[in-house]
Each structure stands twice: as C-alpha cells, then as structure tokens.
Structure 1
Amino acid sequence: MRFARGLHTSAMLVGLSVLLGGCASVAPTAGPSTLDRLLADPALNGATVSLVVRDARSGNTLYQHNPRTRLVPASNLKLLTTAAAMDVLGPQYRFSTQLLSNGTQQGERLNGNLYLRGLGDPTTQFADYQALAAQLASQGVRQVQGDLVFDDSWFDAQRLGVDWAQDDESTYYGAQISALTVSPNSDFDAGTLMVTATAPMSPGQPVSVAINPATDYVQLSNRAVSGPGNSYGITRQHGTNLLQLTGALAPGKHSRQWVSVWEPTQLVANLFEQALAQQGIQVLGRRVIGGSSPATARLLAEHQSAPLQELITPLLKLSNNNMSEALLKAMGRQTTNAGTAQAGVAAVAAFMRRQGLDPASLNQVDGSGLSRRNLVSAQTLTDLLLATSRQPWFDAWYNALPIAGNPARMSGGSLRYRLRGTPAQDNLHAKTGSMGGVSSLSGYLTDAHGRRLVFSMISNNYLSDAAPVRALENRLAVALTQWRD
C-alpha cells in the first residue's frame, strides 16, 4: 500500500533498472497492438487485468481489456475516497481537536471536568497537544478539580477496517483508526510512533532506541544488536504495546521505522497528560478514556487542521491509509451523523450517483483500499476520473496526484522514482496501488497529439514480484504518451 521506508540503495537501484528497463522497448508510436503485446507479457501469466484507455474530453474508449471485470484495486481506491471527500466535505473542510469544560474557573482552579475532544484529525502532532495545554495555561488554569476525559466518540470504536490482514497490524500503513489520535511527523501517519535504533560500533552490543514522540505508553523488548546481516526489525505483539526488536543492525548505522500502537486514544492520553504537566497543570480527578463531552461544555481551546484541499497532497502523494479512513468516517459523520465506515461508504455512493455513476458497479468497504474485499473495475475508475475532471476543485485534486519522475517527494510521491527520462516524466499524474499479487495505476497523461487521456490498469493474482508488473505499467504510460489513432 505504501512505499517501504528505509529501502537500501542497492535494492532501490535494482528495482529502478527493472522499472526503467521496461520502458525502453516501447516503439516511437503506439496503438492498440502495443497494448495487446504488453498484456501478453509472461509476468501476467495466470493473472487477471482490467485495462481501459479513454479520451478525457469526449470520453470515447480508445482501448479496453476486461473493462468491467471487478478486481482488488489496492490504493487506487483512494481516488474514489478523496474525490468524494472533496465533494461531500468540501475543499475548505478542516478537522478539529477541542479542549472543553463543563465547569467554571475560580482563580487558578477549574471546577469541573476537562474534555479533550477529537473530531477525527489525523494530522495532529504532539506539538499541537502541547499548544492546547499552553492555551489552557494562558487562561490562568493550574488545577483541574474534575476528571480528564478523552472523547473519541466522533468516530465509532472499530479501530481496523474490514478484513485487514493480520500481518499489517503493527505497520504504519495498518494503524488503528481513532477520532483522537496523534501523528509523529508531517507525513501524518496517525496512530504510530517513530522508533529509531542506532547500532554501536562494537559488534554484539545492543542497539540504542529513541521513540518519537517520547512516551512510556509502549514497552521495549530489545534483543537487537550491532552486527552484520542487516536482519534488524520491529514487531508489535497483538493486543499489546510491547515492541519486540530483533536481529542485527550494521555497526554505526541508524534504522528509523514507524510502528502502530494498540489503542491510539490512550497514546494521546499519555501525551496530553505530559503536555499538561509541562505547563504546571494538575488534574485531581480520574483519566477517563472514551467519554463523551456534554453539549453544554464550553470551548476553552481548539486546534484545526489545514484545509482538505491541502491535506489531499500528502494523502495521495504518499498514499496515506489512516488519513483516508479518517475522511471516510468524517463523510459518514457529515451526512448521517454516524462516524462509521459504513456511513462513509454510503456517502461515497451518493456522491457517485450525483455524478451519474453507478455505485452498484463496485464494492467498497474501507477508505484506503487496504481490504481485499474492495472490488472495482478499470471502467469504473475511468468513469470517476472523467467525472472528477469536471469538478470545480479538480485542479487541487489533480495536482495532489503523484507526478511521474518528479524527484521532489511532495510532487512525485509514489511515482518519483518511476519513468524518469521518458515522455511520461512530469506528464503522468496518477495513483499507484500495491499489495501482494495486486498492482494498479490510474490517472491522466497527454499523448503525442496534445490530447489528454485517462486510463486505469488493475492487475490481480500474478505470482511474480511487483517489479515486472510495475515495469508493464511504465510501458503502458510511455505507450500512451506516444499514442496515435
């Protein structure tokens, strides 16, 4: 679903040579026979591919192969989730995190409960919680007589999506969903911690470990040592926050990994209590996880996210799963006052109907595409790409898509290493998708006539590794830049 963090340079160069090498065999001009040959590649033996190419202005189909065969789209589903969110929530929509109280202030004492209420913001960082605590301190509060209540009721308590793989559970891209969460940095991988291991120069010695943001919410079982083999790794034991570090890390080297936590609301509780203590604010009551803020509670401080039209850039460029799930549940809360994935899917279906698209043509169960129960065809995705191009917010959405071969991380995104030195570089704007046996690429590019094309290619059930299939996607993109009817 996401580019792996910390890939070794040598492995990356091998991958790049395969991907770029797949582009060189495309003829100077291309047409349907070119794509027929592409789909006959041995890498696709036994696989199923849905491929559609269309004229973006007229909508006419230029090429199709299994156009209505529904396949697992992986992260190509984010095209649908984000387009629906721009319509349902609006480009100016902002997530919010609020500090409220049902009590009154007498001098430095707040008589009543203090509520930290999350409205689903996946971009809130520890510094933002520190700023909320500082706003409270600036009002003269030094003591809270009541309870400290962490209100995550804006979303339901379903922390994971339908049929998400168990072995993704501790990864940053499989992090749990909560309306009250925290991100370790500006990539906004909510519900995770950044764990940095450093190997001492002396072989056999244990690695040192730093966690960001610093917290005692997780425990470490550190059996990782300095040594050869590069077998270092981290897992989190199911149902716990015990991080198990094993293997060897080369002497003097650093490894940074993002690891999800069990129950992100409780991680926020741990961090916000730290933030209050830093401001000299004492809470005399209990910590309450999951309570609801009363309607009569007054707002003391608030943090708001950037507007949605800006948030979709890190979401689409970096294929951020947790942000996608937050948008899905936010759409459910906006339309039916239910912060559930099911309500969000219904909101997406209503968006499709407003665009003249048939929601019965696909099956959606989450917002990110991490579930293999999601099913969609290339025909439906090109229908979506055409409909999206007619929206008033299209430019912001289009620019948020990864741009092939553009080396800037927040421009090229998941396509920044692909198609460099080809006619698709800085031309192709598209969303990638990847899971075991699944690869997808859908988006827009301009052909040899200066005509914009939309296309979608979804491949399922191949047995090779991903590199040969991505090389075929690259060949497709180059062929479309050279397309002649």
Structure 2
Amino acid sequence: MHFGRWLHTGTLWVGLSFLLGGCASVSPTSTPATLDHLLADPALNGATVSVMVRDARSGTTLYQHNPRTRLIPASNLKLLTTAAAMDVLGPQYRFSTQLLSNGTRQGERLSGNLYLRGLGDPTTQFADYQALAAQLASQGVRQVQGDLVFDDTWFDAERLGVDWSQDDESTYYGAQISALTVSPNSDFDAGTLLVTARAPVAVGQPVSVAVSPATDYVQLSNRAVSGAGNSYAITRQHGTNLLQLSGALAPGKQSRQWVSVWEPTQLVANLFEQALAQQGIQVLGRRVIGASSPATATVLAEHQSAPLQELITPLLKLSNNNMSEALLKAMGRKTANAGTAAAGVAAVAGFLQRQGLDPATLSQVDGSGLSRRNLVSSQTFTDLLLATSRQPWFEAWYNALPIAGNADRMTGGSLRYRLRGSAAENNLHAKTGSMAGVSSLSGYITDANGRRLVFSMISNNYVSDAAPIRAVENRVALALSQWHE
C-alpha cells in the first residue's frame, strides 16, 4: 500500500498531509452537500463511483450516489465471503489436516499406505507438519511399507480463480489454492515461500539468498547484485518453480518477499517427507499426489486450525486472498459436497437469500475479490452490512474489520495508517479494497450524534494512482464521523 502527500484547495477544506493517512480538520458538521462536493474531486474525473450511506439501526438512506451501479469491488468482496462463512460454516468451524492409514502395525512397521489428507486449512505451517510426523513417531512407527499419498481432493484441482491476472501469478496474494497447502508465516500466506536476499557490502557481488521453509522444491536463478538503484526484483517463471532474482539491492541491506509456488501440494509433499525423515521414519513406497484417502482408513494424527471466529481477524485485517478462497470452497464442500468456487458462490447466494437479499443483484466468481468479473453495488454492500449487524456472531466479525488509525497491525490492519488524529480514528471499522483502477471502502462508523452508520464507496476506472482516491475515501469517512442532521 502506497501513502503519499496530497494537497487540494478546491474542496470545503484544505488537506494537510496524507503521508501517514491523516486528515485535515473539517467543519463541525457534514451534510449530503458535503459528500456531493467531495465526489466532485478532480481525481474522480471520468471514474465511476457508487456510494451509499444508511442508518445502521433503521436502514434509512442518508445519502446515495449511483447506489445500484455494479462495480468491481476488489477486496471488499471479502465482506461477503466471510459473512457467509460465519453463517454457513459457523464461528466454531475449524479446518483439519489428517494423517491416516489403511494398513496394519507390525512392530515398528506400518504395512499399508500412509495418507496425508488436507481439508483446506490455509493456516498450516511447516511446524504443524513436523508435529504430525512426531505424533506418528510417538506411536512407534519407524517404517511405512506402502506409499505416501498426499490427498488434496477435498477441493477441486482449479488452482487459480476465474480471470485472475497473469502478472499476479508469482505474488503472495495470487498464490495457488489447494486443500493441502502450507503457510510460511503467521499471516497465513498459504502456497508461498519467504525469500530473503542480503546484499554484501562490496558493490557488484551477488546477493545471498535464503528460502523459508528450507526446501529444494524451488530452484534459484540469482543474477541480483549489491549496488545502487533499488532495482532488485524476484519473479517465478510461469509453470515452474524457478525463482529469478535480478537487479541491484543496496549494499548491506536485505529484502524479504513472499513468492508463490507452482503446485502447493507438491511443496507440502517435499516438506512432509523432510518431517518424516527428521523423525527417523522411512517410506518404502512411492510418493503419490492427488489420490483420495479410503473411507476405511484410520486417523493416526490430526492438526486443527483455530476456529473461524479467530481466523477472520488475520483474513480481514490483512486482506488474505488464499484464506478467502479456502473459505469459499469449504462452503461449497459443506453445502453441496463439492469443493469448488462455483459451489461456494451458490452457498453465499443461499446466505443472502436467508437474509432477504437478492443474489441476482451481484456477480461473484471468487472469494477474495481478485477477479475483475466480480460486480457489486454500494447498495448491496450496505444491505450486507445491515444484515450482518443482526447476526449472533456480529461482534467477532465487526472487530475483525480493520480499524482506522490504530497502529497495532492486527487491530488497524489495512487502515492502520489512515485517518490518524481524526474523529474517524478508532471509530471507522471497514474493509479496504484495491487493484489497478479500483478502490473501495465499506463498513461502519459512528457519527457526531453517536449514531452508527453503514456506508460503502466503490470507485472504478480512474487513471490516477491510488493515493488521491484513498484521500477522497478518507474525507468521506471523516465527513461521516461528523455527520449531523
């Protein structure tokens, strides 16, 4: 996320500095005319904007601008996915990863296949796979006489969402989706590896590179050197796990980047085989990818994630795409016994219908909002925000939203640098969304009279960079925090 300085003299007030997302002082009260003036900002010239503001208790509309115009929502779509997941899966839902066998024990030997079965958990880390191997070793198993089978069939084999951009392929936020995956960190960026490059002090020398978790599943082509210019970059070649490092990194500095892998199930296989070897467990058979565990197999060890009501915090605060896609497919698996995005979208539609909302008013194709085929209006988002406020799990969901101006990363999330020192600080709970030509902000804010409002602002087709658009969003939020009728 980029934050820059912004100054504009044509609105009702003069902006001071948005370097840290702060807002200028405003007049004591705001009205619909205030919002009209803000939306006339030159940064929005030629853009399409949908805005709606409503009373959170009564649902009364306080302001609207193209409220039914469907636009690309970017990560605001996660509001829809997570709310539906809390309803469909339930706040106590946990993902699971299981170690099973259909064989028999003969002393230290397991006669039969060993299955590692993934049920979609995007939070599993290498340490969790090591713990599963340790549980097997604690049962006295030292040799598996059958195959080692990696079962990722809980979800389908579609690794990417509909119409995801090709240039996102190697990024952490465009990582492939698998029911059997691994995260390198507590942010749960599943399907990625952390690549750390360090530049030596001597100019022109190659950077040193470390990959975490340590694995030979990826190969390195390292042409990056120590030098001026800040041109260091890393990409993954399409269809491979060849990581290409290029450019210059400042002498003595380091760079940490999360890079997605091709076929995350295979990465899990590589790491779990390491974990078994660490425990002195030998597998005599083959590595098998993508076969189903037999119904007669016995669970030998299991790892479970935290409950969903806790997982939505890193998901919403940090806008985690892979977690969102896992929830979508998990909903499909529960409602239609199909771990597909399409089944998940149908489950979301069912949630909307139960809330009295019409799913035909929007188009959803993925869970994260990374696809440009998603189309949602600000009215639909405010309908959703009103509906969620009536749910028994609302407080957990509301607190999981980013909170403006709060410096704590797992509190402020993607809003932690915005609206500091303003009436919206620690007041605005909202989800951000951003991609090229798209910015969105939807959530809850309390006005000058202590009344909670729901609002949504979606902007598409602007040609400036994102900073001026976020500045307008900040001004809108600030105006709402000082709304008075």
1:173 aligns with 2:186: no
1:382-433 alpha-carbon deviations (Å, 9 max, x no partner): 0000000000000000000000000000000000000000000000000000
Q: Specify the alignment match of 2:13 in structure 1.
A: none
Q: Distance in 2 between matches of 1:338 and 1:481?
A: 44
Whether the 8 Å contact between 1:26 and 1:475 is mirrored in structure 2 is no
The 5-angstrom pairing of residues 272-351 of structure 1 reads: 272-351=272-351
Q: Distance in 1 between matches of 2:108 and 2:5?
A: 63
Whether the 8 Å contact between 2:95 and 2:304 is mirrored in structure 1 is yes
Whether the 8 Å contact between 2:52 and 2:63 is mirrored in structure 1 is yes
Stretches of 4+ moved more than 4 A in 1? 11-16, 19-22
Q: Distance in 2 between matches of 1:27 and 1:319?
A: 33
Whether the 8 Å contact between 2:55 and 2:61 is mirrored in structure 1 is yes
CA RMSD after TM alignment: 1.1
Q: Distance in 2 between matches of 1:433 and 1:31?
A: 25
* Shift of residue 442, structure 1, vs aligned partner: 0.2
Q: Which amino acid aligns with 1:181?
A: T
* Shift of residue 356, structure 1, vs aligned partner: 0.4
* Shift of residue 27, structure 1, vs aligned partner: 2.2
Q: Specify the alignment match of 2:403 in structure 1.
A: 403
Q: Distance in 2 between matches of 1:135 and 1:179?
A: 21
Q: Which amino acid aligns with 2:153?
A: S
Whether the 8 Å contact between 1:20 and 1:474 is mirrored in structure 2 is no
Q: Specify the alignment match of 1:454 in structure 2.
A: 454
The 5-angstrom pairing of residues 72-471 of structure 1 reads: 72-471=72-471
**1:14/1:278 CA distance change after superposition, 3 Å:** farther
Whether the 8 Å contact between 1:428 and 1:443 is mirrored in structure 2 is yes
Q: Specify the alignment match of 2:71 in structure 1.
A: 71
1:442-473 alpha-carbon deviations (Å, 9 max, x no partner): 00010000000000000000000000000000
Q: Which amino acid aligns with 2:89?
A: L
Structure 2, unmatched stretches of 5+, are 7-15
Q: Specify the alignment match of 1:24 in structure 2.
A: 24
Whether the 8 Å contact between 1:22 and 1:471 is mirrored in structure 2 is no
Q: Distance in 2 between matches of 1:114 and 1:105?
A: 12
Q: Specify the alignment match of 1:8 in structure 2.
A: none
The 5-angstrom pairing of residues 32-47 of structure 1 reads: 32-47=32-47
Q: Distance in 1 between matches of 2:82 and 2:190?
A: 17
Whether the 8 Å contact between 2:78 and 2:368 is mirrored in structure 1 is yes
For normalisation by structure 1, the TM-score amounts to 0.97
Q: Which amino acid aligns with 1:412?
A: G
Q: Distance in 1 between matches of 2:471 and 2:149?
A: 51
Whether the 8 Å contact between 2:21 and 2:418 is mirrored in structure 1 is no
Q: Which amino acid aligns with 2:83?
A: A
Q: Which amino acid aligns with 1:453?
A: L
Whether the 8 Å contact between 1:204 and 1:227 is mirrored in structure 2 is yes
* Shift of residue 14, structure 1, vs aligned partner: 4.4
Q: Distance in 2 between matches of 1:372 and 1:427?
A: 30
1:298-335 alpha-carbon deviations (Å, 9 max, x no partner): 00000000000000000000000000000000000000
1:153-186 alpha-carbon deviations (Å, 9 max, x no partner): 0000000000000000000000000000000010
Q: Specify the alignment match of 2:59 in structure 1.
A: 59
Q: Distance in 2 between matches of 1:118 and 1:21?
A: 41
For normalisation by structure 2, the TM-score amounts to 0.97
Q: Specify the alignment match of 2:10 in structure 1.
A: none
Question: Residue 18 of structure 1 aligns to a residue in which SS?
Answer: coil
Whether the 8 Å contact between 2:3 and 2:467 is mirrored in structure 1 is no
* Shift of residue 484, structure 1, vs aligned partner: 1.1
* Shift of residue 24, structure 1, vs aligned partner: 1.5
Q: Which amino acid aligns with 2:484?
A: R
Q: Which amino acid aligns with 2:94?
A: R
Q: Distance in 2 between matches of 1:65 and 1:13?
A: 27
**1:278/1:14 CA distance change after superposition, 3 Å:** farther
Q: Which amino acid aligns with 1:382?
A: T
Q: Distance in 2 between matches of 1:185 and 1:479?
A: 38
Structure 1, unmatched stretches of 5+, are 4-10
How many residue pairs are counted as aligned between the two chains? 476
